[in-house]
């Protein structure tokens, strides 16, 4: 029995280890090459930097100066922060309304949100792009509203599940204590929703920060381009014409903020996902 368990564990660990290597390899390659000289990147992309190939932060300086990286970084940061804040606040309010006001309208509303989760982006992208231009949403502020639309399905679904587990008596206690509906939401409900709110924020932040297609369609590759579009632009062109070192440095700087954000908030992800399953 023991030997059987051991064998099973070895197989499981081997599989998980392989998966981890597959997922981490691209990041490792980018990290290694971001501190190597341009020639060595194409010559030996998998070798670790040594005293000949190591160039320190030179690639990072070039990445900053040679492209409009900082502007794209700021655009991405603005769009992600504003969209995530909007999604978290508005969808949590919507979910609260759906759970507490039980009528046909809220039922339909809930199913619409759930339905929006399963509609593939490719199905709506042309009409969406058309209307984004028609309604003058093709700018860093306008795209926030589009993200609010795309992000609300999953967010409302997650918030609804959690709010159902909050006893209505807590809200009634708040009403008796003197809270208006707005105060009840921000002083009582929203703080209770913290684990779910952080989970929703992480999931949306990762998606919006890394999103390529939507900003490319709506904002294009002009002066308002986001980081993923900027990176893609830097990649375009004949091989060898491009400064691969600067590009690797750009990639490191692109993935760094979202990894840091995730590491800070990751303990809430599981909490938020299972919250509502069992009454605490």
Smallest separation (angstroms) from another protein to the CB of 192? 6
Q: Which of residues 190-209 bind another protein (CB under 8 A)?
A: 191-192, 194
Does residue 102 touch another protein according to CB under 8 A? no
- Are 193 and 163 a contacting pair, CB within 8 Å? yes
Are 227 and 72 within 8 A, CB to CB?
Answer: yes
**Residue whose CB is less far from another protein, 174 or 203:** 174
Q: Which of the stretches 50-58, 171-179, 232-240, 252-260 binds another protein when contact is defined by CB under 8 A?
A: 171-179
Burial of 140: CB neighbours in 10 Å, binned 0-12, 13-18, 19+: middle
Tell me: does residue 170 bind another protein (CB under 8 A): yes
Q: Are 198 and 272 in contact (CB under 8 A)?
A: yes
The reply to whether 174 sits near another protein by the rule CB under 8 A is yes
Q: Which is nearer to another protein, 116 or 165 (CB)?
A: 165
**Beta bridge partners of residue 278, listed in sequence order:** 275
Contact residue for another protein among 77, 109, 179, 265 (CB under 8 A)? 179
Q: Choose the binding region for another protein from 51-59, 139-147, 185-193, 220-228 (rule: CB under 8 A).
A: 185-193
State yes or no: residue 172 binds another protein (CB under 8 A): yes
Binding letters toward another protein, positions 115-154, x by CB under 8 A: ----------------------------------------
Q: Characterize 177-189 residue by residue with b for buried, 16 or more Cβ atoms within 10 angstroms of its Cβ, and e for exposed.
A: eebeeeebbeebb
What is the smallest separation between the CB atom of 172 and another protein, expressed in angstroms?
5
Stretch that binds another protein, among 32-40, 53-61, 69-77, 189-197 (CB under 8 A): 189-197
- The least distance separating another protein from the CB of residue 276, rounded to whole angstroms, comes to 14
Torsion over CA: 91, 96, 99, 100 (sign): negative
Q: How far is the CA of 208 from the CAs of 125, 146, 194, 233, 271, in angstroms?
A: 16, 11, 20, 18, 22
Q: Which residues bind another protein (CB under 8 A)?
A: 167, 169-170, 172-179, 183, 187-188, 191-192, 194, 280
């Amino acid at each position: 029995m023991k030997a059987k368990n051991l064998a099973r564990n070895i197989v499981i660990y081997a599989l998980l280890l392989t998966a981890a290597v597959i997922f981490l390899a691209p990041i490792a390659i980018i990290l290694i090459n971001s501190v190597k000289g341009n020639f060595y990147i194409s010559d030996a992309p998998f070798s670790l930097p040594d005293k000949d190939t190591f160039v320190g932060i030179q690639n990072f300086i070039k990445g900053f100066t040679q492209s409009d990286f900082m502007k794209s970084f700021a655009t991405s940061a603005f769009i992600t922060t504003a969209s995530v804040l909007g999604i978290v606040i508005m969808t949590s309010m919507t979910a609260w309304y759906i759970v507490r006001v039980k009528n046909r309208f809220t039922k339909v509303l809930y199913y619409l949100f759930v339905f929006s989760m399963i509609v593939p982006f490719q199905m709506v992208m042309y009409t969406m792009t058309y209307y984004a231009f028609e309604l003058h949403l093709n700018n860093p502020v306008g795209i926030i509203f589009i993200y609010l639309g795309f992000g609300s399905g999953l967010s409302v679904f997650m918030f609804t599940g959690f709010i159902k587990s909050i006893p209505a008596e807590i809200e009634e206690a708040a009403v008796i204590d003197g809270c208006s509906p707005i105060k009840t939401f921000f002083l009582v409900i929203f703080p209770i929703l913290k684990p779910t709110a952080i989970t929703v924020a992480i999931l949306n932040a990762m998606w919006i920060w890394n999103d390529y297609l939507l900003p490319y369609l709506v904002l294009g590759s002009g002066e308002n381009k986001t980081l993923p579009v900027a990176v893609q632009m830097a990649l375009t062109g004949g091989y060898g014409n491009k400064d691969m070192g600067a590009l690797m440095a750009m990639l490191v700087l692109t993935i760094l903020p979202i990894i840091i954000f995730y590491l800070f908030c990751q303990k809430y992800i599981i909490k938020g996902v299972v919250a509502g399953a069992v009454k605490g």
